[in-house]
Structures are given as structure tokens and as C-alpha cells.
Amino acid sequence: MGIIKDRFKVKADKVSAEIKEMLKEHGNKVIGEVQLSQIYQGMRGITGLVTETSLLDAQDGIRFRGYSIPELREKLAKAPDGSEPLPEGLFYLMLVGELPSEDDVHHISSVWQRRSHVPNHVFATIEALPLNTHPMTQFVVAVMALQTESQFAKKYANGLNKKDYWDAVFDDTMDLIARLPRVAAYIYRRKYKSGDHIQPNGLLDWAGNFAHMMGFEDESFKELMRLYMTIHADHEGGNVSAHTTHLVGSALSDPYLSYAAGMNGLAGPLHGLANQEVIKWVFEMQEELQTNLPTKEQIADYVKKTLSEGKVVPGYGHAVLRKTDPRFEAQMEFGKKTYA
């Protein structure tokens, strides 16, 4: 089946057996109590599913299979002459549950390179959209156009044994991950670079190739993409996009349909769109104050004004974290190290 798929199968079979045994012995155990306010206010604090790959700790931030972000930056394999982890290494860790060797990481890079071909009809679908269409909308439409390539959908239609569902879903997932950088870079170049597209470089790693296709050839930006993709690769199962992907997938919708659904959730201003809303809020503040360097007092007054108008200050406040997000700290450290 392939080295990674074989190892994942061993891991999955072991976990499946453990879950069956746990349910057999403790299936009637009651876990916690649910209050009416929790039901009406976003399911906060309600245990809805178990997510093995990552855990959000209120003090330590996100941990992947128990490893903190500083630990991952130290332990995961890096690109030649690079200092930041390759996302392929974190993918292996989440999939198999063990830290990968450099050979394992490079193997995943080569597998994704081989699976990265995007059919022409996907680009044609993107081009059919108005140029002013939001990039996330273009992205979701492109993923839906890719759904024609779903191996799970085809095999299920032809009669697929239930025990083999995972196999086709695995292949769909690997194909989708491999193709996403090409699609995202195409949309970026279409919207912001006059459609001057850049072909992929099959010799580069997953994130490095994404930077290349966006048009950034300096190694520092490739390193930034490697770091960024690693530390944002997973975020438990309880946020909107992850929960939605799980929910839609539970109906046996293939990975393309499930991922597109999750991305529609991510597009909301209280989730992924908050990144854009932060920049918009800052620009609006600078314009109203007529300065690019407002004082602390001016910023404080503008924040109060925003809140008094019944609006939120985007990007501030976290339902769980009680300390500075280590993802922010990692990016800040990278910025100081690289550009100071």
C-alpha cells in the first residue's frame, strides 16, 4: 500500500481495538453535566468528540501529540540549510503518532509531489468566477471542482466494503493535501498578480513549493511558510472548521466535500476571516486618526469607540488560551531573527 499508509493502518488498527475495548468496559460511564447555557452558547465546555492529534492547553497553547511548538521546531526535520520544521514531519507525527526520521519526511514530500497534479477543469472553474470574488470563495469552489477526482466516491458507487472505507479516504486526503498549494497559489496570482501564474517546482518541499508558486523565491519566505504551515496544521476538533469537517465526513461525504464544508466555516469573521478583519480594522483606525503611528492613548480611545458602537475588536480574545499564543511567539521570534 505504501510505507506511510502501512504505518497508519497499524496505528489505526491498534487505536480502533483500544476504543472498542474501552466502550465495552466503560460505555455506560457518564462524562460531565451539560447546562442549558452551554447548549445555546456554542457548546462551550461540552465534550463532543475525542481528538488525538492535538490538544489546546489553556497555559501551554496547542500541543501536537503532546509536543509543544518549541519542541517541534527543535525536533522535526528541516529543509537543507533550513532552521524551521517541514510540515510533512508534523503530518507524519499526527498520522502515525511518532516523530519521523528525515527519510520519512522526504518520502512524504515526494509522495505529495507525485500526487499534486490539478486537472484543467479546476482552473477553468476558478476562471469562471468574477475576479472580485473573495479568495476563500474561489478556494472552496476549486475544492468542489476537484471532487470529481475522489477515489472514495467512485469506489463507494461501485460497491465498497465497509472495512475498506479508510483506504480510499486516505488516498483522497493525500491527493487533496498535495493539490491544495497549487490551487491556493493559482488563486493568489489570479487575484493579486494579474493572473501571471508560476508552474510548480517538483524538486521543492510542500511549503517551499507553495512559496515558489506564489512568487517568493527568497529562502526566508520559504522558511516562513514551513513554520506557518506547521504550527497551523491542526487545532483540535472543536473549532468551527474542524468540527464541520468531522460532522460532514460522518455522513460518508468524501474528503473533498468534507474539507470544502470546513473551509466555508473557516471563512466566517469569527474564525479564519478574523485575520483579514484585523488588518481592515487597523487600516480603518489609521485612516480615521490620519496617522500610521498612533499613540497608545489614540489606540485606546479608538478601541473604546469600537466597543461603544457594539462592535468587536477583531483578533482579540480566546475561548481557551490564558497566555500569549505560542504560535504568535514562534512567528514573532522568526520575524526578529530573520528581519531585525
pLDDT recorded at residue 261: 98
What pLDDT is attached to residue 72? 96
How many whole angstroms separate alpha carbon 51 and alpha carbon 54? Answer: 7
Is residue 60 very low, low, confident or very high in pLDDT (cuts 50, 70, 90)? confident
Q: What is the pLDDT of residues 279-301, one digit of tens each?
A: 999 999 999 999 999 999 999 99
Please count the residues of the chain: 340
Alpha carbon separation from 161 to 8, 44, 155, 165, 199 (Å, rounded) = 19, 37, 9, 7, 39
Question: Which residue do the cell numbers 476538533 mark?
Answer: 237
318 alpha-carbon distance from chain centroid? 18
Asked whether the beta carbons of 62 and 326 are under 8 A apart, the reply is yes
Full-model pTM? 0.91
- Cα separation, 288 vs 229, in Å, equals 35
Give me the mean pLDDT over the 21-40 stretch.
89
Residue 196: per-residue pLDDT: 97
Q: Would the pLDDT of 1 be above 70? A: no
3 state DSSP class of 112? helix
CA-to-CA distance for 123 and 332, rounded, in angstroms? 35
Closest residue by Cα to residue 213 from 203, 225, 200: 200
The set of long-range contacts for 200-204, using a CB threshold of 8 Å and a minimum separation of 24, is 200/116, 202/113
User: How many Å apart are CA 157 and CA 254, to the nearest integer?
Assistant: 12
Is CATH 1.10.580.10 the classification given to domain 49-269?
A: yes
Place of cell 514562534: 330
3-class secondary-structure state, position 56: strand
Show the beta-strand stretches assigned E in the chain: 54-57, 61-64
- Do 15 and 94 meet the contact criterion of CB atoms below 8 Å apart? no
Do the beta carbons of residue 75 and residue 99 sit within 8 Å?
yes
Q: How does pLDDT run across 98-114, given as a tens digit for each residue?
A: 999 999 999 999 999 99
Query: Could you tell me how far CA 156 lies from the centroid of its own chain?
Result: 27
Cβ-contact 37, 25 below 8 angstroms: no
The pLDDT, as a whole number, for residue 52 is 86
Give the pLDDT band (50/70/90) at residue 89.
very high
Q: How far apart are the C-alpha atoms of 177 and 302, rounded to whole Å?
A: 41
Residues of the chain with CATH 1.10.580.10: 49-269
C-alpha cell at 96: 502515525
CB atoms within 10 A of CB 215: 15
Tell me the pLDDT tens digit for each residue of 193-252. 999 999 999 999 999 999 999 999 999 999 999 999 999 998 877 788 998 999 999 999
Q: State the average pLDDT over residues 57-74.
A: 90
pLDDT value of residue 220: 96
DSSP class of 67: B
C-alpha separations of 11 from 7, 18, 92, 172, 255 in Å: 6, 11, 12, 19, 20
Question: What separation, in Å, do the N-terminal and C-terminal C-alpha atoms of the chain show?
Answer: 47
